[in-house]
Amino acid sequence: MTLTAPPASDDSATAPTLPRAVTLRDVARAAGMSASTASRALNSTGYVSADARARLLAAAARLGYVANASARTLKQRTSRTIGVVVSAIGNPFYADLAAGIEETLRAAEYQMVLISDNSDSAQEIDGARTFLAMRAAGVIMTPVGSDAAALLMRHGIAVVELDRQLAKVPCDAVVIDNHRGARAATAHLLELGHRRVGLLAAKTNWTSDAGRLQGYRAAHRAAGVPIEPRLVTRIAPEAPDTVERVERLLDERPTAIFAANNVLTEQVWRAIRRRGARLPRDVSLVGFDDVPWMEMVEPGITTVGQPTVELGRRAARLLLLRADDSERPPTVVCLQPSLVLRGSTSPPG
Amino acid sequence: MTLTAPPASDDSATAPTLPRAVTLRDVARAAGMSASTASRALNSTGYVSADARARLLAAAARLGYVANASARTLKQRTSRTIGVVVSAIGNPFYADLAAGIEETLRAAEYQMVLISDNSDSAQEIDGARTFLAMRAAGVIMTPVGSDAAALLMRHGIAVVELDRQLAKVPCDAVVIDNHRGARAATAHLLELGHRRVGLLAAKTNWTSDAGRLQGYRAAHRAAGVPIEPRLVTRIAPEAPDTVERVERLLDERPTAIFAANNVLTEQVWRAIRRRGARLPRDVSLVGFDDVPWMEMVEPGITTVGQPTVELGRRAARLLLLRADDSERPPTVVCLQPSLVLRGSTSPPG
DNA sequence: CTGTTAGCGCTTTCAG
DNA sequence: CTGAAAGCGCTAACAG
């Protein structure tokens, strides 16, 4: 701040809002060095004398130098940014995934750019384009369609699919064992003696929902209990007639319901409450995803818990590994869910 | 995809992973035009003949051209990226703010880059540096300290403070009327006849907490009820002794408690449940922030509701306005909270 | 209406 | 150990 030439100084004291950002050249000049040397010093790469480095570092600090990420990315043809696209940031499940990703990325000095696609494949492709344009070092996504991942990978950007797998090309992925989770949930109900177990699942082409549906079926098969088709309801995310569809399922008088994600679990829970029905006396309920409210309501909701934050961490770690070695064979990490028993399940009344 | 020259085609069919991204020159060449014309055509800026434009557009589509955002940012010295730094993405309050921001930004064709700072000012500054490096068009933050905003603004980056104001320089902001919300909450309790109303607030230097504390005081003053200092507990976010502090407040036997944010509301709620005390018979409770669980538990929690998503939208809108006109005087938008009455409050038993 | 030219700020050989 | 030079991909004057 206190420079030699007070009046004609070319530094920021001239105007309150400075006209041009300070560049590497500026700090080089201030230290009487060239830009190349300054670059080496500030990035601790290549040879720089201790003296020069010290002067350069001091100058950078004094001038408040912040490297221009665009210039660097342009030159290096890749950035330290990782794109993340989730279905709905407002859903605590996705928020937790993002939290796990962010934590891991931050530790590795990468930036997370978060985009929410509202489960809409057009928005998802848009997001992919954005990351392509940014030359993101990689992208983690909870896929809605398979085109976005294809686009990215075709352009050489590493992709990790999270929560479900949709890519048609082999690709890293981190998922939960949906089949086993759903099977455990359903088996629990069957073991309690339920014979009319309703299923409420999302109507998607996602592997997660397919697995949950299969798990429900497998448990029935193993128990020798036939499935009543009218008790299986599949509802598209954000469908406008969600409430009616849920009501209709309840009208079928199942003695228990397995709701295959946290949103649907909340929907049935509300429908049950609206009817004044009692949990678990009138109907038992098992959810999927252990979000906070499930433990706070009375009775608590028995549910298939997922290590959500850990799923996010793993996805980030996988991407980091691939950044080191783009030739690694694609690996898919499958984490185990666990059935959390609470008060919403009991033998049929 | 079906081109004229099958074997010697210079397009991506050659290798599965293409060696170099397709640039503007590539599409220009493919259309027999210069890069500048291609730029004009693809950005619909300046004069381009209909014919040329068509050929260029076709070439771009065929080659799968995606503009390099870094090059553009470098040239234009600003990007279409807006940085957002929130305290904790896992907290539904901040997630909703982010959702509102993202929605608005997306409509204006800006990208949101989200960073969570865990209420740590060092991480907040880090985030500011990142956005500075990216030449973000602006930054929206729920501030922890005042240095990050100062740094940004010193470098000419527009800042909008959200949820609270900490900047020492005038700066756009979107906040809730904390004083009024807290006052209404406390007055409600006082009107019910409570005389020992505990306050549980965050110990920060944030305007939000200051306003809530003052509102609590103002309500007492207006009602002519003296405040019992032992009933006022302030706990730093993430403090390790949070549970004990809350227990100690309960030990003071307040007949009602006003918890000044959603996290603390949950903490007291849990403490009350652990003791087997009944809401509102043994103690009344009013929260702040209307997060979903408050309506789902039994009895529901009376709380000061905030238009959270709208707060986010407004912040984004303010930033967009400033992007159009950097000379606008800083404006602060103050939204009104509303007291949501539910079952957790009643006259003292 | 179109092409040439220059340069955004940085990194990276390559000579000294 | 250091500097000169070139160029990443794009846009914006400015001539034609």
Q: What tens digit of pLDDT does each residue of A177-221 get? A: 999 999 999 999 999 999 999 999 999 999 999 999 999 999 999
- Strand C, nucleotides covered by protein (CB < 7 Å): 1-5, 7-13
Contact A134 B297 (CB under 8 A): no
B:227-266 residues touching chain A, CB 8 A cutoff: 266
What is the spatial order of strands in the sheet that A197-202 belongs to?
A232-235, A197-202, A256-259, A284-288, A302-305, A338-340
For residue A345, which phi and psi values (nearest 5 degrees)?
Answer: -125, 140
Instruction: State, as a whole number of angstroms, the distance between the CA of A56 and the C1' of C15.
Output: 23
Q: Using CB atoms within 10 A of its CB, is residue B30 exposed (0-12), middle (13-18) or buried (19+)? A: buried
- Mean of pLDDT over chain B: 91
Which of B23, B42, B66 to probe by mutation at the A interface, max A CB count within 10 Å? B66
Q: What DSSP element (H or E) covers A225? A: none
**Nearest CB to A70 within list B17, B64, B135:** B135
Which residues lie across from A175 on neighbouring strands? Answer: A334
List Cα–Cα distances, B77 to A68, A84, A335, B126, B138, in angstroms. 10, 25, 44, 21, 13
Contact B288, B188 (CB under 8 A): no
**Measured between CB atoms, does B12 come within 8 Å of chain A?**
yes
Residues 214-273 of chain A within 7 A of strand D, judged by CB, are none
pLDDT digits (tens, 9 = 90+) for A283-315: 999 999 999 999 999 999 999 999 999 999 999
Longest dimension (CA), chain A: 91
Residue nearest to nucleotide D8 (CA to C1'): A75
| Record: contact A92-B92, CB cut-off 8 A | yes
Tell me phi and psi for residue B287, to 5 degrees: -105, -175
For position B13, what pLDDT does the model report? 33
Q: Could you check: is the Cβ of residue B79 within 7 Å of any atom of nucleic acid strand D?
A: no
Nucleotide nearest to A39 (CA to C1'): C11
Nucleotide D11 C1' to residue A319 CA (A)? 34
Q: If pLDDT is split at 50, 70 and 90, which confidence band does B19 have? A: low
CA within 13 Å, CB half, A273: 15
Beta strand pairing call for B302-305 and B338-340:
antiparallel
Chain A residue numbers touching B73 (CB-CB < 8 A): 70
Question: pTM higher than 0.85 for the full model?
Answer: yes
Amino acid at position B49, single letter:
S
What is the rounded average pLDDT of the residues B188-217? 97
CA of B75 to C1' of C13 (A): 25
Angle (nearest 5°) at CA B243 between B241 and B245:
70
Those residues of chain A that have pLDDT short of 70 are 1-19
Region at B119 (left for phi over 0; alpha for psi -120 to 50; beta for the rest): left
Measured CA to C1', the nucleotide nearest A35 is: D3
In chain A, whose CA is at the least distance from the CA of B20? A155
Inter-chain residue contact A155 with B114, CB threshold 8 Å: no
Is the distance from CB of B63 to CB of B10 less than 8 angstroms?
no
Contact between A319 and A82 (Cβ < 8 Å): yes
Q: What are phi and psi of A19, to 5 degrees?
A: -75, -35
Give yes or no for CB of B69 within 7 Å of strand D: no
pLDDT digits (tens, 9 = 90+) for B182-197: 999 999 999 999 999 9
**B49-57 own/partner pairs: CB under 8 Å, 24+ apart:** B55/B31, B56/B27, B56/B28, B56/B31
Beta bridge mates, B286: B258, B302
Phi, psi of B325 (to 5 degrees): -150, 95
Å between CA of A73 and C1' of C12: 14
Are B332 and B120 in contact, with CB atoms under 8 Å apart?
Answer: no
Spell out which residues of A between 18 and 57 contact strand D, using CB within 7 Å.
Answer: 32-37, 40, 46-53
pLDDT at A212: 98
pLDDT, one tens digit per residue, over B227-266 is 999 999 999 999 999 999 999 999 999 999 999 999 999 9
Of A89, A111, A133, the CB nearest to B68: A133
